[in-house]
Structure 1
């Protein structure tokens, strides 16, 4: 897809380029020229998009919508998908491709280079980071949106600015620590505990991950945990576990010669038939058809 922005309009900012690609303005836009940032909400678009190189790095939060968004990488769509609750960093100067299989709801935060200058973790904006878990970033973004849509008042404007400042500080603090973080004492449900649960699921999707066990880690009842998880991430704990298992199964279908029976067991499914039904429901095709398709594409 060739856009005006890709055809010589190098003085356009991030929002103008994205508007040109999508053919529409953002649902919400707020920013500060003096402080060098711009926050936009984009909704209700579907299809495949080519986004030309942006002049500023951009932090994207997947708020809601279809839980299957892929990006173009090394000649094909990524096996990993972005789902509600994920964040993505797109560096400046890097063209990207996107496959959106259903209505999407995202918030983008663009920051000028002078805002990043001298920051200890500014190098994280020099490379693509796709679909990583960021519960705190999502929670802050949701809070900002809820305040933006509320009746405007002077004190509310100040509060929104403070929340945007908190989101910027969170982003600039650097990526979450890899591996198993050291346990810290907390008495109430927190973003830390939610992040810990999500990381455990992504690290070993085939494990049991019962609702009771996850709720115990969060320190709340199972029913309360379900409500909190869905409010923060946009999907239920069961759906999150299912998506993690299906993403792992997709990788094994492409990278191994395992039979479907062995693969379904390794991915954490009770049976091959259960795996096949879930895979077809999520991806719109049978696992065997997906494997053949990917092999033909690779060949």
Structure 2
């Protein structure tokens, strides 16, 4: 990837080989601490109008705006409050939650200084769902025209967003086909989340364990204790620990650490967020604690791992866009 700072307003431009993928316009608004906003990531996938991932001070608002297509936001860390013109109430969007605004409906994020974090970390994508519905007609009934959406997310939705954001940065063969598949994957994951909040029921070996895994996957940066998880899923800490280990194969704390390290690797690979900030966002008490856990898990430091990923991206297997 070749990135040029085009102006003092922190605009970025990504250039690539025309035979592989065209120029992608990327910008970073002045208030954004880290991340990017990409317009028309690939003209062969016009249903994906824009997407990005950003870290924003909690005291900063996103002003009123609207789009001709659906815009989906996934809160990854921090607390945010959103409003939409179709509803008189603000939506308190917590880590893992989905907020989606339909075409033509004004919406925005309210500035607030209070909350669990001084920053908001979110991913977003503007998608023409009509194109997706043409491929998958059964999805359309969950997306009501003119009605905004707020639903509790899960690990599958977070993973779908992260895969799409990651693919948008890469310059490699079959990029348009991959983006198209990942757009469909994201919309399917979001539709399932909406359906669950509307009363659809899923089955698993044990509902409490499934819900505990969903909470950890969706919010790995949360300061989860066994008691907090137990309270969230309606089971005593002792019984949750036993059931979780028996079904998942490891204790909840080990599962949480693994989820945090997996997410840390994605952020090291796909963002320019400083490692200290990344560690604190993921729930580690100190950057030193994160460094120890990362080294034990990966066999190297986080900075060395990031450098190694940059080297791989520069090679033939998957260069940055």
Normalised to the residue count of structure 2, the TM-score between the two structures is 0.49
Give the CA RMSD over aligned residues. Answer: 4.7
CA contact under 8 A between 2:28 and 2:36: conserved in structure 1?
Answer: no
CA contact under 8 A between 1:138 and 1:232: conserved in structure 2?
Answer: no
Which residue pairs with 1:221 in the alignment?
250
Alpha-carbon distance in 1 for matches of 2:79, 2:191 = 27
The gaps in structure 2 that reach 5 residues or longer are: 1-24, 219-227, 265-280, 284-321
Which residue pairs with 1:8 in the alignment?
none
Which residue pairs with 2:68 in the alignment?
55
Which residue, 82, 86, 94 being the options, matches 2:97?
86
Kindly provide the CA deviation profile for residues 92-124 of structure 1, in whole angstroms up to 9, marking residues without a partner as x: 222223125543332222222532556333242
Kindly provide the CA deviation profile for residues 56-106 of structure 1, in whole angstroms up to 9, marking residues without a partner as x: 111222234xx111123766644x3322x2221111222223125543332
Which residue, 108, 114, 120 being the options, matches 2:138?
120
Of Structure 1 and Structure 2, the greater helix share is in 1
Of Structure 1 and Structure 2, the greater strand share is in 2
The count of residues paired between Structure 1 and Structure 2 equals: 212
Deviation of 1:226 (Å): 0.8
Does 2:56 align with 1:37?
no
Deviation of 1:219 (Å): 0.9
Alpha-carbon distance in 2 for matches of 1:95, 1:202 = 36
**Distance change (3 Å), C-alpha of 1:165 and 1:68:** same
Q: Which moved more, 1:135-144 or 1:190-199?
A: 190-199
Normalised to the residue count of structure 1, the TM-score between the two structures is 0.52
CA contact under 8 A between 2:154 and 2:193: conserved in structure 1?
Answer: no
Secondary structure at the aligned position of 1:51 is classed as strand
Which residue pairs with 2:124 in the alignment?
108
Alpha-carbon distance in 1 for matches of 2:34, 2:43 = 18
Kindly provide the CA deviation profile for residues 245-278 of structure 1, in whole angstroms up to 9, marking residues without a partner as x: xxxxxxxxxxxxxxxxxxxxxxxxxxxxxxxxxx
Alpha-carbon distance in 2 for matches of 1:162, 1:43 = 23
